[in-house]
Amino acid sequence: MRVDRIELRLLRLPLVHPFRTSFGRTDEKTFILVRLLAGGLEAWGECVAGATPYYSAETTVTAWHVLAEFLGPTLVGLDFGHPREVFPAFHAVRGHNMAKAALEMATWDLYARREGQPLSGVLGGIRTRIASGVSIGIQESFDQLAAKIRAELDAGYRRVKIKIEPGWDVDVVRRVRERFGDIPLMVDANAAYTLGDADHLAALDAFGLMMIEQPLDEDDLTDHARLQRRLKTAICLDESIHSPRTARDAIDAGACRVVNIKPGRLGGFAESIAVHDLCAAAGLPVWHGGMLESGIGRVHNIHLSALPNFTLPGDVAASRRYFVPDLVEPAVEVAPDGTIVVPTGPGLGVEVDADRIARATLRFEALAR
Ligand code: NPQ
Ligand code: MG
């Protein structure tokens, strides 16, 4: 298989609601879409890097640079039999996993379309529906948070994750438990704490959380292992897990009991499958993270979530929580039982709306063989 042409587009879409985490607030999503043309087929990928380097080092600007100057030329020069060959072909480029993933994931879509199979089928998925959860940003008041939680539970979502930071944590969780009882609840700190906060974080043990996600720094497996020994609550790692090797090291160190898989953070689907498989072998459940993707990235995530060890509800929710209209038809919907159907058509299995993409495009560049 050879890719004839790669198109890069920088898009900006307004968010339905602003989203605040411990690292900042965002009102819109700026991101790169990649479109591949190969042998009369087209395929899509979405780069999850945002406009700012606050969640991770990559941004839309670094990703555009690396895609246009390095990864794009490598991919148009590559004759590959299977998309699992693409990530190794990018080996000379250090890091930049989000840029790598955008192209790599598009090659899986291309391969699936060529095979006439749904993307989930070529990835090894076994589910027809996936369980959906929500991630609720830091709010102005507890009442605002409670109203959001009520609405999401009423919509059927199967677990609620609330973002925490110092000053918006133990008391908020206590009040959520008092108001909502035994709902499936977890928290995500996006690395806002240090090991010195261990006593404070241990107060969360009283509330039966499913897990606490990424309490400490991205590069701090050792302190996560120390913290995990102090807590009853399971630690889930997100930002720390960059590769199958860091996943293995985290598991060996006892730094977590659950892993969040985001293909953007890992460099694509092949590396995500490797992490999925090694967590399964070690007896750790995984779930699919979210990066405020448009419908294109969102549908990629749905297909990967069909793999067997995605046994916990992910941060893969309905389009309408983020973008109206979305870039895909039909938009992603969540059923009253909190599940999302895995599309069954070839590749992504949804239509991409070229007009909406054109209207949201700020920058365009094409690379050809
Ligand atoms: C997380 N996502 O699990 C991330 C954080 C996140 C849904 O909680 C632009 C770039 C916007 C990166 C929004 C959720 C982002 C972003 C959220 C990362 O930690
Ligand atoms: Mg997270």
Mean pLDDT of the 15-41 span: 96
Q: What is the DSSP string of 56-120?
A: SS-BHHHHHHHIIIIIHHHHHT---SSGGGHHHHTTTS-S-HHHHHHHHHHHHHHHHHHHT-BHH
| 232 included as an active-site residue | no
pLDDT above 90 for 313: yes
Mean pLDDT of the 5-16 span: 98
Mean pLDDT of the 317-336 span: 98
Query: Considering the domain 5-116+350-368 in this protein, what is its CATH number?
Result: 3.30.390.10
Query: Considering the domain 122-341 in this protein, what is its CATH number?
Result: 3.20.20.120
Measured from the alpha carbon of residue 55, the closest ligand is: 1
Which residues' Cβ are closer than 6 Å to ligand 1?
19, 21, 26, 50, 55, 135, 188, 190, 238, 289-292, 315
Q: Which ligand 1 atom sits closest to the C-alpha of 214?
A: 19
pLDDT above 90 for 369: no
pLDDT tens digits along 247-276: 999 999 999 999 999 999 999 999 999 999
Q: Ligand 1: distance of its center to the CA of 56 in Å?
A: 10
pLDDT tens digits along 105-144: 999 999 999 999 999 999 999 999 999 999 999 999 999 9
Tokens 């590769």: give the residue. Answer: 243
Q: Which string of b and e fits 59-97 if b means at least 16 CB within 10 Å? A: bbebbbebbbebbbebbbeeebeebbebbebbeebeebb
The residue whose CA has the least distance to atom 6 of ligand 1 is 291
In the sheet with 361-368, reading across from the earlier edge strand, the strands are: 41-47, 24-38, 5-21, 361-368
Q: For residue 265, what are its two tokens?
A: 């953070």
Mean pLDDT of the 13-28 span: 96
The residue whose CA has the least distance to atom 19 of ligand 1 is 190
Measured from the alpha carbon of residue 52, the closest ligand is: 1
pLDDT tens digits along 91-105: 999 999 999 999 999
Neighbouring residues of the ion ligand 2, judged by CB less than 5 Å: 188, 213, 238
- Angle, alpha carbons 258-331-51 (nearest 5°): 65
Q: For a pLDDT cut of 70, what percent of the chain falls above it?
A: 100
| 262 included as an active-site residue | yes
The residue whose CA has the least distance to atom 7 of ligand 1 is 290
Q: Which ligand 1 atom sits closest to the C-alpha of 289?
A: 3
The residue whose CA has the least distance to atom 17 of ligand 1 is 291
DSSP state for residue 195 in the 8-state scheme:
G
Which candidate in 29, 100, 161, 262 is catalytic?
262
Domain with CATH 3.30.390.10 in the chain: 5-116+350-368
Domain with CATH 3.20.20.120 in the chain: 122-341
Q: Which of 43, 48, 47 is nearest to 107 (CA)?
A: 43
pLDDT tens digits along 47-75: 999 999 999 999 999 999 999 999 999 99
Average pLDDT of the chain, as a whole number: 98
